[in-house]
Amino acid sequence: MARPRILVVGAGFAGVECVRRLERSLAPGEADIALVTPFSYQLYLPLLPQVASGVLTPQSVAVSLRRSRRHRTRIVPGGAIGVDTKAKVCVVRKITDEIVNEPYDYIVLAAGSVTRTFDIPGLIDNARGMKTLAEAAYIRDHVISQLDLADASHDEEERASRLQFVVVGGGYAGTETAASLQLLTSNAVKHYPRLDPALIKWHLIDIAPKLMPELGDKLGVTALEILRKRGIEVSLGVSVAEAGPDKVTFTDGRVLPCRTLIWTAGVAASPLVATLDAETVRGRLAVTPEMSLPGADGVFALGDAAAVPDLAKGDGAICPPTAQHAMRQGRKLADNIIASLRGRPMQSYVHKDLGLVVDLGGRDAVSKPLGIELKGMPAQAAARGYHWAALRTNVAKTRVMTNWLLNAIAGDDFVRTGFQARKQATLRDFEYTDAYLTPEEIRAHTAGADARG
C-alpha cells in the first residue's frame, strides 16, 4: 500500500514548525513529507528591519531548512500557484518556471501573506515593502544611495527629495522599520560632510489614531515619544493619497518631496487562498478550530493564510497573523494530521497571546511580555532575548549574536552592494503577487491527474 503523502505549502513559521513536528513524530515509513517553497530557508521575518538597517547580515535571518538531524522532507523548489481540492493536486511553479502537479493526501496551506495594498494612484509602482529578504536588502541599498546622490547633487530640490523618507504603517513592522532606518541615516550622515543632518527627515504615518495599539496606551505613548525625540515626524490619522516617483501626497493635503516610500500598512493572505474557491474571513481561509477546511478532504490551513478561531479570546475572534500563533499552530496541526493518520480524534488549537516585543534600535525598545510593561534596556533585553531564542538553529543564533556584538562595538560601514541598482523594483516584483492561476487554469492543469501519482 502506498504511503500517505503530506504536502506542506510554505516555509514560514507555521509551515516549518509543522514539518519539524511531523519529522520528529512520524516513523520513517509512515508517510512521505514534501515542502513547497521557492527558497531553502525559513525567513525570520521579525528581524528584517535590522537587515535593512545593516545591524544584521541577510544570511543571519535566512535559517537553513536542511540543518536538521531528522531531515527527510523532500523540498520542492518553487511556489504553489493553485490547488485543486477535488483532484487533490497542488499546482507548483518551480524556480525554473516549469509548472508541475504535486498530488497529496493531506495538504497544509501555510502560504503566509503579502503586503496589503489599496487602490492609491502610484502606490504599486513607487512603494517598497518589508516582507522579503530581497526587499530588506534592496531598501538598505536604496536608502544609502539616496545619501550618496544627495551628497553629489548641486540641485537643492533634488537633494531635498532624496533626504525625505516616508514609512506608512504604525504597527510593529512599520515602527521598527522607521526606527531602525532613522538610526542608519543619523549614523551614516556623519560620513557625509557636505550634508546637513537637519535636512534628513523621516516620517511615520498611519491612518489609525494610535501607534501600536496592541501595546496599550502607556507603552504606545512611550514608543511615540522615543520616535519623536529622535526627530521622526509621526502623523496619525493620515495616509497616502498619491505616490509619485519624487513626491508623496498625504490625505491631509500635504505634498512631500520624497523618493523613498516604504509601505508596511498591514498584510493580506497569500493570493493562493483565492484559487481554492472557499469561504474566507477577512480574506483568510475560514477553518475549524482543528484548522481543517470544511468540505475539502485532507485540506488544512493555518498562519497568515487562515482565519483560525481564537478560542482563548472567544466571541468569534480569530488569531492575529503573528509568528507566535503561527509556530504553535504548526505544531498542533502536525499533531492533528498524525492523529488522523492513526485514527485518533483531532484537537482544537488554543493559545493565549504571550505579548509583544518591539526593538527600536540602539538602547531603545518597548515590550510587553506576559503583560509586563517594559521600556529601555530591560525591554531591549526581552526583545532580543526572545528573537534569539526563537531562531531555530545554533548556526543562526551564532550569526545573529555575532552581528549584534560586532555592530555594538564597530558600528556600520554604510556600504551598498549595488543590488538592483538600475531597476526600481516594485512590490509585485518582490512578492510575485501576479503569479497565481485562476480556478479554470488550475482545472486545466490538473485534468486527468491521478491523485495517487
161 neighbors 246 (Cβ within 8 angstroms)? yes
Give the dihedral of Cα atoms 195, 241, 173, 17; nearest 10 deg.
-140
Q: Please name which of 170, 228, 229, 181 lies closest in space to residue 204, comparing C-alpha atoms.
A: 170
Share in percent of the chain as helix, strand, coil (round to 5): 35, 25, 40
Predicted TM-score (pTM) of the model is 0.92
**Mean of pLDDT values over 67-71:** 66
Contact 184, 50 (CB under 8 A): no
Place 1 in a pLDDT band, splitting at 50, 70 and 90: low
Provide the pLDDT for residue 247. Answer: 96
| 305 phi/psi in degrees, rounded to 5 | -85, -10
Rounded Cα distance, 98 and 23, in Å: 28
Give the Cβ contact number of residue 89 at 10 Å. Answer: 26
CATH superfamily of 5-51+61-115+268-353+431-446: FAD/NAD(P)-binding domain (3.50.50.60)
d(CA 296, CA 85): 6
Q: Indicate the CATH number for domain 123-266+355-427.
A: 3.50.50.100
Where do the CATH 3.50.50.60 domains begin and end in the chain? Answer: 5-51+61-115+268-353+431-446
pLDDT at 186 over 80: yes
Grid cell 553629489 in the structure block, residue? 152
Distance CA 223, CA 179 (A): 10
User: What is residue 452's predicted lDDT score, i.e. its pLDDT?
Assistant: 43
Nearest Cα to Cα of residue 166 among 184, 181, 152, 153: 181
Least confident of 84-93, 248-257, 418-427: 418-427
pLDDT of residue 67: 80
Question: How does residue 448 score in pLDDT terms, banded at 50, 70 and 90?
Answer: low
pLDDT category at 332 given cuts 50, 70, 90 is: very high
Q: What count of other Cβ atoms lies within 10 Å of the Cβ of residue 410?
A: 8
Grid cell in block for residue 200: 534628513
